[in-house]
Structure 1
Amino acid sequence: MYPFLWIVFAGFILLSTLPLLSAKNRTKWKITQAIVVTATIILVILAIELLQIPPLVPLILVVIVSFLTDKSTYTKAGLIITGVVLLLLAAGAYYLFHDDPDYVQKYIDNNPQQASIQINVNGETVVSQQANVKRPLASVVKTVIAIEYANQVTEGTIDPDQQIPLSELEKYYLENTDGGAHPAWLDDMRVTEQIVNGEISLHQVAKGMIHYSSNANTDFLIEKLGAESINRVIETLELDNHDPVYPLVSALLTSVYLNHQHDGNLSDQELEDMLQAMSLEEYRELVWQIHDELKQGESDFFDETVSVPMDLQKVWSDRLPNATVEDYGKVMQAISNNTATVPEGEEILRDIMEWPMEIHQSNREKYAHFGAKGGSTAFIINQALYVEDNNGKKVELILFTEGFNLIERMKINQNINAYMKEILAEYIET
């Protein structure tokens, strides 16, 4: 996924192992250095590939380990150089990881073509920037699925207490592709004893889709509820710029599926060209084809794990359902005003959406209602939420960002929650 980074890591390994070709350099220290550096690099590669950890921190770790295992580091000159390097690393780490909510606002202000924001207060739009620009939603789209779930429960079409075998969810789970969302949800369900005989209630599946953002739960619910019914929600709420909903996991498998059809002989560039050449309609048809194979348990084109290069992930991210912050301003406002669902579906939907009220006592003290859904890929970071304070004041805040580099992404991801808290404090308390 990061070819240039792998070249850098290979360089570190060569620098530590090549001296061993000479017998005089084959000292205990040099051998230990080569082993430690190589082992560290193997571990960080696994962390980057399997756990989807951003590469900057692992790279810094490799640099530090390389310095600490180099005997010349412990000379006077080496200690000075090491001290300077560590100070620079510490300064960089502070810049990246200290709380800086103003950074998000600066990014919005300085990159108007790459960020959209809308803030509504008591039904009036008070902030609007690029509100009609369509951007990829990522997991924010799961809000629409939650609305249709509440509709169908209310209408009696589905039973929220229906016990769903975990094996049905596993059909749509791709290991190490969701940032640990699905395993974290399962761990919570086991701790709270929600899983009985390998089954869990449909309602907990829906809550896991929103709170933990499980993609496996999402694609299961899309199949369970029906895409046509879900997409009617888009029409009912008059979301004029909202793309149709389709499975997320199957979309991530498009390049793997196409490569399998060509006996694994296509390069990443050829796969990217093939996907880019497809119209959105053709692309969605391919996604549904893959989804049907996953549903039937007939997928033989991957071994339950995938590693999709970043260029191909970009195609997937860009072609996820798109919408505008204005659309999701309507969605969040409708939930807050109890008009998002059919009559009597409001409490079901709030039970799913208002997970911030469950996990943070401070939210229960400040607000009567607080519901939220975020969404992100390597290329976008989005948030959509609504709050109502104890005096009935309502605020909806929608923020979609994209187009950032790695450092900007890390800074936004680090500070977006603090930024949104500041915004809520500003508009709730005034």
Structure 2
Amino acid sequence: MYLYLWIVFAGIILISALPLISRKNRTKWRITQSIVVTVAVLLSIIAVEALHIPPLWTVIFVVMVTFLSDKSTYTKTGLIITGSVIILIAAGAYYLFHDDPEYVQNYIDKNPDLASMYMRVDGETVIRQESDVKRPLASVVKTIIAIDYANQVAEGTIDPEDHIPLEELDKFYLANTDGGAHTNWLEDMRANDKIVNNQVPLYEVAKGMIRYSSNANTDYLLEKLGADSVNGVMETLKLEHHDPVYPLVSALLASTYLNEQHNGNLSDREIEEMLEKMTMDEYRELVWEIHEQLTHGEADFFNETVSVPMNLQKIWSDRLPNASVEDYAKVMSKISNNTATVPGGEEILRDIMEWPMELHPTNREKYAHLGAKGGSTGFVLNQALYAEDHDGKKIELIIFTEGFSFMERLKMNQNMNMFMSQVLDEHF
């Protein structure tokens, strides 16, 4: 997923090492500089791959190390240039990362073709912006799977205490495609001794799907629950603008799979054209075909890692299940009012959805209930939540946004949660 970043890093190492070809340039300073830059790049790769540090920070780190290890930096001209660069980086970092919740509202107001918002207070709609427009859901769609999971547990169809081998989840895991969600969940399971004989309880798989947003857990549950049962939730809840749910990981593999079927001879542009020509029914059929191979361990066209160019990621993101904010206001309202599931499923579902109550002690002070599910890709940033204070006042707040430039996405990511907290505080 970071192929271009690795190419840039390799170029930086090469540039720092090239002068050493000449014997006269093999000074102690030059050799030290090359070693320091190489170490900085290796540390950055580890930070991205193992610690899931955002790539932007590692790029800044490598650039700064390169500057500071260059002897010319310490001339008068060099110090002026370095100082100017540091000031520009600091100003850019402040712009991108300082708290600015109004940025989110401004984006929604200025981009009605790219953003929707819906808010209801005690059953009364107070904000409705582009509320019936269908937009890509990203991981927000996992709420539907959670509802069906709660239904099937309540009906006795599945046992939440069943122990699921991690190898069954690994079938649907693609490294470096979920922002560290699955590995973070596994680390939490290990830290809390939830993994026994390399197995985890089914209810922890469901909670990991929502709290950590593990795509592997999601596609495993979709297979276990059954697509027909999951998609029946939309009919039961009368969601008028909701697309069928289908596997997320297998969809991300669609371009790799098509290329493999053509012996690896397709260009990115040719794959893009093939995907764009498919109807949604054809596309979903392809995704389910891939999912079937993953389920049965027959997917030998990848080795747990893929590199998908941004143009193909865009197709994947756009073709994820779509729905409207109005649909998800209805979903969140029904969860809040204990009508989203069959009788007996209410607390099962709340236990999955109300992870923010466990995560932040301040939430327990402010709210009697707070449940949420976010979703994001490189092109989408969504949030859906319900909240109830200790006096019984209830709010549902849904925001779906898309179509960002790189800078806009950074700003939206930085400020979305703060903006939503601000909106809640204004009405509670």
Regarding TM over 0.5, the answer is yes
Contact 1:369/1:388, CA 8 A, preserved across alignment = yes
Q: Distance in 1 between matches of 2:296 and 2:145?
A: 22
Shift of 1:117: 0.6
Change (3 A) 1:277 1:144: same
Task: Classify the secondary structure of the residue corresponding to 2:395.
Answer: strand
Change (3 A) 1:151 1:4: closer
Name 2:205's counterpart in structure 1: 205
Name 1:61's counterpart in structure 2: 61
User: Are 2:193 and 1:196 aligned?
Assistant: no
Q: More displaced, 103-112 or 287-296?
A: 103-112
Q: Distance in 2 between matches of 1:354 and 1:388?
A: 11
Q: Distance in 2 between matches of 1:376 and 1:76?
A: 46
Shift of 1:315: 1.0
Task: Classify the secondary structure of the residue corresponding to 2:145.
Answer: helix
Contact 2:171/2:295, CA 8 A, preserved across alignment = yes
Shift of 1:356: 0.7
Note the 1:127-142 alignment, pairs <5 A.
127-142=127-142
Q: More displaced, 45-54 or 131-140?
A: 45-54
Name 2:279's counterpart in structure 1: 279
Q: Distance in 1 between matches of 2:12 and 2:78?
A: 18
Shift of 1:6: 6.5
Name 2:270's counterpart in structure 1: 270
Write out per-residue CA displacement over residues 184-235 of structure 1, whole angstroms, 9 at most, x where no aligned residue.
1111112222222222211111111111111111111101111111111101
Using structure 2 for the length normalisation, give the TM-score. Answer: 0.95
Shift of 1:15: 4.1
Name 2:85's counterpart in structure 1: 85
For residue 241 of structure 2, what is the amino acid of its counterpart?
Answer: N
Q: Distance in 2 between matches of 1:3 and 1:138?
A: 23
Shift of 1:12: 3.9
User: Are 2:157 and 1:122 aligned?
Assistant: no
Note the 1:397-416 alignment, pairs <5 A.
397-416=397-416
Name 2:240's counterpart in structure 1: 240
User: Are 2:253 and 1:253 aligned?
Assistant: yes
For residue 87 of structure 1, what is the amino acid of its counterpart?
Answer: I
Shift of 1:10: 6.0
Task: Classify the secondary structure of the residue corresponding to 1:381.
Answer: strand
Q: Distance in 2 between matches of 1:250 and 1:43?
A: 31
**Structure 2 unaligned spans of 5+:** none
Note the 1:8-407 alignment, pairs <5 A.
9=9, 12-13=12-13, 15-41=15-41, 43-44=43-44, 54-407=54-407
For residue 389 of structure 1, what is the amino acid of its counterpart?
Answer: D
Contact 1:210/1:352, CA 8 A, preserved across alignment = yes
Contact 1:260/1:301, CA 8 A, preserved across alignment = yes
Contact 1:134/1:322, CA 8 A, preserved across alignment = yes
Q: Distance in 1 between matches of 2:332 and 2:77?
A: 60
Task: Classify the secondary structure of the residue corresponding to 1:126.
Answer: strand
Number of residue pairs matched by the alignment: 428
Q: Distance in 2 between matches of 1:138 and 1:335?
A: 20
Contact 1:387/1:395, CA 8 A, preserved across alignment = yes
For residue 325 of structure 2, what is the amino acid of its counterpart?
Answer: V
Shift of 1:45: 5.5
Shift of 1:8: 5.5
For residue 409 of structure 1, what is the amino acid of its counterpart?
Answer: R
Q: Distance in 2 between matches of 1:397 and 1:170?
A: 34
Task: Classify the secondary structure of the residue corresponding to 2:424.
Answer: helix
Task: Classify the secondary structure of the residue corresponding to 2:263.
Answer: coil
Q: More displaced, 95-104 or 131-140?
A: 95-104
Change (3 A) 1:280 1:53: farther
Shift of 1:409: 0.7
| RMSD of aligned Cα (Å) | 1.9
For residue 264 of structure 2, what is the amino acid of its counterpart?
Answer: G
Task: Classify the secondary structure of the residue corresponding to 2:112.
Answer: coil
Contact 1:51/1:176, CA 8 A, preserved across alignment = no
Aligned residues with identical type, % of pairs: 70
Write out per-residue CA displacement over residues 135-157 of structure 1, whole angstroms, 9 at most, x where no aligned residue.
11011000011111111111111
Contact 1:50/1:176, CA 8 A, preserved across alignment = no
Contact 2:3/2:307, CA 8 A, preserved across alignment = no
Contact 1:151/1:341, CA 8 A, preserved across alignment = yes
Write out per-residue CA displacement over residues 157-205 of structure 1, whole angstroms, 9 at most, x where no aligned residue.
1111112111111111112211111111111112222222222211111
Contact 1:49/1:307, CA 8 A, preserved across alignment = no
Q: Distance in 1 between matches of 2:418 and 2:14?
A: 43
Write out per-residue CA displacement over residues 110-151 of structure 1, whole angstroms, 9 at most, x where no aligned residue.
222111111110111101111111111011000011111111
Q: Distance in 1 between matches of 2:263 and 2:135?
A: 34
Contact 1:121/1:396, CA 8 A, preserved across alignment = yes
Shift of 1:286: 0.7
Q: Distance in 2 between matches of 1:9 and 1:168?
A: 35
Task: Classify the secondary structure of the residue corresponding to 1:211.
Answer: helix
Contact 2:2/2:307, CA 8 A, preserved across alignment = no
User: Are 2:420 and 1:420 aligned?
Assistant: yes
Write out per-residue CA displacement over residues 57-112 of structure 1, whole angstroms, 9 at most, x where no aligned residue.
33322221121011111122222221121111111111111111111111112222
For residue 177 of structure 1, what is the amino acid of its counterpart?
Answer: T
Q: Distance in 2 between matches of 1:253 and 1:50?
A: 22
Contact 1:141/1:245, CA 8 A, preserved across alignment = yes
Contact 1:52/1:177, CA 8 A, preserved across alignment = no
